[in-house]
Amino acid sequence: MTRKRTRESLAHVLCESCPTCGGRGQVKAARTVCYEILREILRESRQFSAREFRVLAAQVVIDLFLEDESQSLAMLEDFIGKPVSIQAESSYSQEQYDIVLL
């Protein structure tokens, strides 16, 4: 005779997914998010004809763009021929970002 589980586990009932990592147990590094943003801007520049691109992201990602990745951002601006502005959003988690076409 075997027992069949008929209810959800206690951990599943009492716990919920982490809002930051979405239940994965890991959060992307700020540098990884920077590279995702650069790739996304490149894709969107080929698809849409915007005057300017504005990046909204967490402060840690913006700081990385201003310090270590400023040259990469400048090279992307030269390549696509459009300005890219960055803006910190205090309510965003490290993985969240938006690219606004202006």
What domains sit in the chain, N to C, each tagged with a CATH number?
27-101 (3.40.1260.20)
Average pLDDT, stretch 34-55? 95
Give the separation between CA 30 and CA 99, rounded to whole angstroms.
16
Instruction: Tell if the pTM clears 0.75, that is, is over it.
Output: yes
Structure token pair of residue 18: 């982490």
pLDDT of res. 24: 78
Contact 53, 76 (CB under 8 A): no
- The phi and psi torsions of 64 (rounded to 5 degrees) equal -65, -40
At 9 the three-state DSSP class reads coil
Per-residue model confidence as pLDDT tens digits over 53-99 = 999 999 999 999 999 999 999 999 999 999 999 999 999 999 999 99
pLDDT of res. 3: 74
